[in-house]
Structure 1
């Protein structure tokens, strides 16, 4: 499922939002090991600025010997209401699976549009 507010540039992904205070679009790369954002008033300009911002970021990483991509361990904490936790455990057990597997399937369904 293609997200409407994501822009892919050279295999890196940026979230795009409109900032009404400055009347410009703002892009922020989300899979980098540091901050790289960019602004423009139109989509073509946003792509150009994104490419320039990414190029500068990657060059800096090469110079400093830093891995540019953020690494994700596959582990994270989630806080949910206790009653939802209890219901999720019941559903997972009824399916004969773990809570982790249930959550992974639900997230996969949500992010992949399943």
Structure 2
């Protein structure tokens, strides 16, 4: 179960402000600040959708490419021993290191 909102490949947080007695959040995984709020979960989700749609429309009007939260590349630091182990596994199975790491991650996160 996730506390993230998802819409058009964008994900957003769900937080509660006791002081303002409202729900709020922001889109994660991009540099642009896209925030939203609502008095109920339904309102929060609707404002999230509206905020993403407005961001995409603004990018279209300005003729710029919208930021994509997940490009498919990232750096990860692991121990030298684990690096050696996965590299050997990849060679023994005729795979690239990237393919072996992708397989391992895919196996880990399958629901």
TM-score normalized with structure 2 length: 0.71
Within-5 A mapping of 1:1-114 = 4-9=2-7, 11-19=8-16, 24-30=22-28, 34-70=32-68, 74-111=72-109, 113=110
Structure 1 segments (4+ residues) deviating >6 Å: none
Unaligned 5+ runs, structure 2: none
Unaligned 5+ runs, structure 1: none
CA–CA distance in structure 2, aligned partners of residues 110 and 35 of structure 1:
31
CA–CA distance in structure 1, aligned partners of residues 69 and 37 of structure 2:
26
TM-score normalized with structure 1 length: 0.69
RMSD: 2.9
CA–CA distance in structure 2, aligned partners of residues 31 and 20 of structure 1:
22
CA–CA distance in structure 1, aligned partners of residues 36 and 74 of structure 2:
28
Give the length in aligned residue pairs: 110
CA–CA distance in structure 1, aligned partners of residues 31 and 68 of structure 2:
4
